[in-house]
Amino acid sequence: MMHEEQSWKAVAEIDQAEVFHFPQGLVGFPGANDYVMLNSGHGDIVCMQATEQAEAAFLVSPWDVNRLGKQPELTSDQKKCLQCRNETRLLWLLVLNPFSDPAWVLANMRAPVAINLDASLGMQCVQANPELDLHFHWMCQPGQSNQAA
Amino acid sequence: MIVLRRKVGQAIHIGKDIRIVVTEVESNTRAHLGIEAPIEVPVHRLEIHEAIQQENCAASQGDARAWLQEAVNDA
């Protein structure tokens, strides 16, 4: 079990060998249902890699409450899918895109990933709010600058 | 494409366990649909689905692990 310290967030414990099951897959990747977290321990960004589909690999980072405000809330259907209860430990992750912008690593706030750490279940939760940014400037590309957005 | 005429309150059944009900029609301009589907079947508006799909594909188009390793080395 890896004990990952997040200075500005809750402490997230992620077992590198643990498989997280996504009943719906991620949007556009319906056949990739099981993911493992790779490279956890290198700061705030980890690689979420599908076990059965090599091309389904996503960089994710925990939702930053200080920058983005409060975490999204699950709908009743999403709670059902994730088998959430009141005491469930839930981890919200942003899907990052470092490949489309030469200057910025982009974060998709419209469709964050929620993981039920107790049940090892995950889901990409599309948010109803159309104002949430699909291309939020998360951080400068490494080598560009060390300053965050 | 199959086109079916349905009135408010009437339903369409798809496959084993997907049910779509017309719950309201606004002056022939917009239909309200109620959808019952299994948990493993995602249901999204098409334009949102396409936008998120495009973003996910863009986010996975490169070598994520290599990028991450490079980022760690640069830090």
pLDDT in tens, B47-56: 999 999 999 9
Tell which wins on pLDDT, A54 or A143.
A54
Continuous H helices in chain B: 46-59, 64-74
Chain B residues lying within 8 Å of A43, measured CB to CB: 72, 75
| Sign of the four-CA dihedral A129, A130, A134, A136 | negative
pTM of the model: 0.84
Q: Residue A140 and residue B59: Cα distance in Å, rounded?
A: 16
φ/ψ (deg, to 5) at A95: -85, 125
Q: Alpha carbon of B16 to those of B4, B13, B19, B40: distances in Å?
A: 18, 8, 9, 13
> By the CB < 8 Å criterion, does B47 face chain A?
no
pLDDT in tens, A127-149: 988 889 999 999 999 877 554 44
Q: Alpha carbon of A31 to those of A20, A54, A105, B16: distances in Å?
A: 14, 11, 26, 19
ipTM for the assembly = 0.83
* Average pLDDT score over residue span A53-74: 92
**Which of A126, A141, A145 to substitute to test the interface with B, most B CBs within 10 Å?**
A126
Distance between A82 CA and the closest CA of chain B, angstroms: 9
E-assigned strand segments in A5-146: 12-14, 20-21, 34-38, 46-50, 57-62, 90-97, 104-116, 121-124, 136-140
Of A38, A47, A40, nearest to A5 by C-alpha is A40
Decide if pLDDT at A118 tops 80: yes
